[in-house]
Amino acid sequence: MKSTLQWLARQTWFQVLFWTLVLIGAWEAGATLVEMTKRMPANIMPHLYQILQAAFSGQEVSGGMTATQVVLKASAATLGRAFLGFLLGALAGYMLAFLMKLSGVIEKMIFPYLMLIQLIPVLGLAPIILAITGNINSSRLVIAAILSFYPVATNTLAGFKSVEKDKYDLMATYAAKKRNMFLKVLIPQSIPYFFTGLKVAAPMAVTASILVDTLQGDGGLGCILSQALKHAMSIYVFWLIVFFSAFVGIFSSILIHWVELLVTPGVVVNLLRKLSIGKEAGAYGRKNEKVQKKKKYPSSVV
């Protein structure tokens, strides 16, 4: 019995499950307390089952749509733009890092400003970008792009710079062309760093997009959130959005981790092997995992 418990305590999934249950317990305790003492408990801390009930009830809350439909329709607008901006920003970030690697002059010229962007509260710029672009959709896109641009650029550049001198020497002994140098060494080396940048950028892009919504009424998540908060519709819509956006924020970096595993050579093969043979997982996958763990906190690059 004791050894089973010890084994369980070492499993990551069990730890996460355990702490999630603790959190749920704490929430429910709080909700019960609030229910007994407050006049409008639903505003402050509704029970989780009440939120779930609201999610699955067929009751129409606004414009002939149920609460879940409202949230999903709003999130389609918000998250679609966030994703597009994220992709654009990531692409631009990678390109800039590439350019900075190619030319020392460009690097010296732009790198200090890249650092500066990190210190500027870009989300504070949301209203002004809305004023400049004049269109909520394009401003969502622009802000998500700016926010995802700099973590990707700085991390990718760090990846390019992390190439050891031995590798340059080896390529020199092969008399490799510059093009091959990039294709065979620099770009593969930069990919894990690139993904670290993406993992930081993804929740930011979601936050930015929701925030921009609250500035102008156009049916995004943030817009519905402020409407529900003002009791224009059921308050449970507000709670649904809170939990949904928290879920999306957390899930976005997990999703990118999965994408990273997919594109990392050898990991998928290893996973399949693990499933079929069991314990005989190759060393390659584990090695990669270690490398990724080391680079978890990209901001140390700064």
Partner 1 sequence: MEERMRKYKRRKSILRRLSESPKAQKVETVMLPVAFGILVVALWQGKILHRLFHTDTFVLPVPTKIFGIMGGITDKVIGNTIDTLLVAGIGLLLGSIIGYLVAVIASFLPNMGKGGLTIVGAFASIPIAALAPVMNNWTKDVSTEASFRSMISKILVVLLIAAANMGLNAYRGLTELKPYALDLMATYAASKRRIFVKLQLPNSLPYVFIALKVSVPASIMTAIVSEYFAEYITGIGRQIRENIVLAQYSIAWVYITVACMIGIVSYALLMVIQSLVLKRYR
* Residues of the shown chain interacting with partner 1 in the complex, contacts defined by CB under 8 A: 6, 9-10, 12, 14-16, 18-20, 23, 43-45, 104-105, 108-113, 116, 118-125, 127-128, 130-132, 203, 206-207, 210-211, 213-215, 222, 225-226, 229, 238, 241-242, 245-246, 248-250, 252-253, 297, 299-300, 302
Residue 61: phi and psi, rounded to 5, are -110, -30
Select 103 or 180, whichever has its Cβ closest to partner 1: 103
CB 276 → partner 1: shortest distance, Å? Answer: 28
Select 185 or 223, whichever has its Cβ closest to partner 1: 223
Q: How far apart are CA 266 and CA 191, in angstroms?
A: 14
Select 45 or 171, whichever has its Cβ closest to partner 1: 45
CB 179 → partner 1: shortest distance, Å? Answer: 22
3-class state of residue 66 by DSSP: strand
3-class state of residue 78 by DSSP: helix
The secondary structure of residue 270, as a DSSP letter, is: H
Residues 6+ apart with CB under 8 A from 141: 81, 84, 85, 88
Select 93 or 203, whichever has its Cβ closest to partner 1: 203
CB 280 → partner 1: shortest distance, Å? Answer: 26
| Angle, CA of 79, 99 and 163, to the nearest 5° | 95
Select 84 or 229, whichever has its Cβ closest to partner 1: 229
At how many degrees (to 10) do helices 235-263 and 67-102 cross? 40
CB 172 → partner 1: shortest distance, Å? Answer: 19
CB 266 → partner 1: shortest distance, Å? Answer: 25
CB 43 → partner 1: shortest distance, Å? Answer: 6
Select 117 or 187, whichever has its Cβ closest to partner 1: 117
Q: Hey, which residues does 65 pair with through a beta bridge?
A: 62
CA atoms within 13 A on the CB side of 124: 5
Site of tokens 């900075």? 100
